[in-house]
Amino acid sequence: MPHIRHAPEAPTRTRTLAPGESIDAHRHDDHQIVYAGSGVLAVTTDAGTWFAPGTRAIWVPAGCVHAHRAHGHLALHLLGLPPDTNPLGLDAPTVLAVSPLLRELILACTRAPYDDTPERLRLRAVLLDQLRASPQEPVRLPAPADPRLAAVCDLLHDNPADPRTLAALAATAGVGERTLSRLFRRELTMTFPQWRTQLRLYHALRMLADGMPVTTVAHGCGWSSTSAFIDVFRRAFGYTPGTHHRRP
């Protein structure tokens, strides 16, 4: 990530980003909770991309170089926490489930004025309690290092509906199927089917944020049927893709 900006304190504020708008690579001395009140948020580091709709937040640890990108009209809520305040003990970006209560606490703590009144400090204390109980979610796309693995991942990024098997994809990269399978598990800590599902969900969120119909998204991302897509999406995010654009 070139042109890294150092912003000493992670801001606590709310801002909006237009579809496709981004915030360049930067880092903070504080931890940051990043929540998308609307749209879909992608946070990218050298290690990969973490993505979150409105039922998820992304924890970005202090010192981590990261960039933001908006898919759809993004209402971005940024909550900074001191480096000695790490309720989950996380040292890498992590996607967290956001309960209705935690969502309201994030919105309240990022609402102007950004002060440390007794009321605001009490809200933050409850928020930290809720964070400690927040399940971590495997909603991420790790970045491959091996050039053969990267070539295959790039092919599927360009066309997530590509139906080719692992063996067929391995042949295009000049690598054996077993070797490619080992690379997925070793570098990306996922099997090939698991990684492809994460990739398709990521592209599905992006397409839904752009207002595309559910059936178009299902076929564009490679699901065999709309019902199969709806089932996988609901199990991953807790709501159906048809309600995605209506979520607050």
Domains of the chain: 5-137 (2.60.120.810), 144-246 (1.10.10.60)
CA distances, 35 to each of 15, 81, 210 (Å): 11, 14, 18
Phi, psi torsion values for 49, nearest 5 degrees: -125, 135
pLDDT of residue 56: 86
In angstroms, the CA 51 to CA 68 distance is 10
Average pLDDT of span 135-145: 84
**Residue 39 above 70 pLDDT?**
yes
Average pLDDT of span 74-86: 90
Q: Which residues pair with 57 in a beta bridge?
A: 35, 96
pLDDT of residue 219: 96
Which residue type does 118 have?
P
In angstroms, the CA 215 to CA 205 distance is 13
| pTM for the structure as a whole | 0.82
Q: What pLDDT digit, counting tens, does each position of 195-216 carry?
A: 999 999 999 999 998 889 999 9
Instruction: Give the 3-state secondary structure of residue 11.
Output: coil
Using only C-alpha atoms, the chain has a radius of gyration, in whole angstroms, of 19
Neighbours of 33 (CB within 10 A): 24
- Minimum mean pLDDT among 62-71, 79-88, 134-143, 147-156: which range? 134-143
pLDDT of residue 75: 87
In angstroms, the CA 244 to CA 40 distance is 10
Instruction: Give the 3-state secondary structure of residue 75.
Output: strand
pLDDT of residue 148: 95
Question: Please, what is the average pLDDT of the chain?
Answer: 89
Closest CA to 110 of 17, 229, 185, 16: 16
In angstroms, the CA 206 to CA 221 distance is 11
Q: Find where tokens 């909550």 sit.
A: 79
**Residue 170 above 70 pLDDT?**
yes
